[in-house]
Amino acid sequence: MNTITNPKVAALVANIEKVIIGKREPIVKLIAALLSRGHVLIEDVPGVGKTKLVAALSKSVGGVYNRVQFTPDVMPSDIMGFNMIDSASKEMQYREGSAFCNFFLADEINRASPKAQSSLLEVMEELQVSVDGVTRPLPSPFMTLATQNPVETYGTYHLPEAQMDRFIMKLSMGYPAPEEEKQILDQKGMNAADLQAVLTLADIKELQNNADEVKTNDLILEYIITLVNATRATDLLTLGASPRGSIALFKSAKALALIHGREYVIPDDIRDLAVGVLAHRLMLSPKGKSTVGSATAIVEEIVRVTPIPG
């Protein structure tokens, strides 16, 4: 995961690491999700850099970045936009919502009502918004990044499984090591706003197209299918990964191969991404809750016992 041989991605990672210390793995996976044209859920405790990571990514590519702090009073129109009467012309005019950007941050998404949460379904899946019968495409590239705190659940609304399935992967930042935390303290206040763009949006679209061209073979496809089907065949889960999960693992593995400078996917790409791509799509059975405790542990075990093809 630490070897980045694509020069454009290497420059992007190095720039982000000026403000995000010691988090190479989540940074690389976030970029893999971007190159896969996917969306990311970042779940972790407050204060570990979730919002700063998103802002640093946007600043590093010169993208338009909109942040909405999700609360129970956030309305779908805040995200999708609305029609209103113009006081001068006396005609209805459309006002764009916050989703019209390149990087849309839904901060603490589980604190918004289900009505507001559901407004993101069309945004994330179709990359468009529909208001009063008129459909409008979002800018390209477009990425939704959502954060949530897994510890404090008072006053929150659990994301439904259909919406969780829209995220190509779920990431966690984790606490820094002591030596990394010392570097954070020594930064002397540097933040994402201080960064300069090292890539353009055109560069990102080019990298996305390059990721599409990365090659796979039947053994890689069979490996993905075997892993995904294993989530559907265990009594530790009541809900296994959907075909969307297979597609997400396929696309993100191609992006990760590109990041590592390869024109083809290898099994290690699949293994590196399997937990982040699949675990949040699964639902534990009562037996799974009592014997294993987490979907992450189940996916890790599936990866461990599944033979590598070839």
Lookup: tokens for 299:
């996916």
CA angle 221, 280, 143 (to 5 degrees): 80
Q: Answer whether residue 241 is part of any domain.
A: yes
78 Cβ neighbours under 8 A, 6+ residues apart: 68, 97, 98, 116
112 located within any domain: no
**Is the residue at 117 inside a domain?**
no
300-305: Cβ within 8 A, 24+ apart: 300/275, 302/227, 302/230, 302/231, 302/234, 302/274, 303/227, 303/271, 303/274, 303/275
List strand residue ranges (DSSP E) for the chain, in order.
40-43, 65-69, 81-85, 92-96, 103-107, 128-131, 134-137, 143-148, 169-171, 237-239, 283-284
Residue found under tokens 């570097």: 183
pLDDT at 225: 96
Cα–Cα distance for residue pair 89/68, rounded to 1 Å: 30
Angle at CA of residue 256, ends 105 and 227, nearest 5°: 95
The verdict on residue 164 lying in a domain is: no
Contact 62, 101 (CB under 8 A): no
Tokens of 302: 């599936």
Is the residue at 310 inside a domain? yes
Q: Is residue 247 part of a domain?
A: yes
Residue type, 115: K
Q: Is residue 119 part of a domain?
A: no
- To the nearest 10°, the Cα dihedral for 17, 200, 106, 114? -140
The pLDDT score that the predictor gives to residue 1 is 55
The DSSP element (H or E) to which 259 belongs, if any, is: helix 243-259
Other beta carbons within 10 Å of 278: 28
State how many domains the chain has.
1
Task: Report how far residue 256's alpha carbon sits from residue 269's, in angstroms, rounded to the nearest whole number.
Answer: 6
Q: Which residue type is seen at 56?
A: A
Return per-residue pLDDT of the chain as tens, 310 residues.
558 989 999 999 999 999 998 899 999 999 999 999 999 999 988 888 889 999 999 999 999 999 999 989 999 999 999 988 877 777 888 899 999 999 999 999 988 888 888 888 889 999 999 988 899 999 999 999 999 988 776 667 888 888 899 999 999 988 988 988 888 888 765 788 888 999 999 999 999 999 999 999 999 999 999 999 999 999 999 999 999 999 999 999 999 999 999 999 999 999 999 999 999 999 999 999 999 889 999 999 999 999 988 7
Domain assignment present for residue 200? The answer is no
Extract the tokens encoding 180. 């990394």
The whole domain housing 261 covers 213-310
Q: What is the DSSP string of 85-109?
A: E-TTT-SEEEEE-TTSSSEEEEETG
CATH number, position 264 = 1.10.8.80
pLDDT of residue 41: 95
Please tell me the predicted confidence (pLDDT) of residue 15. 94
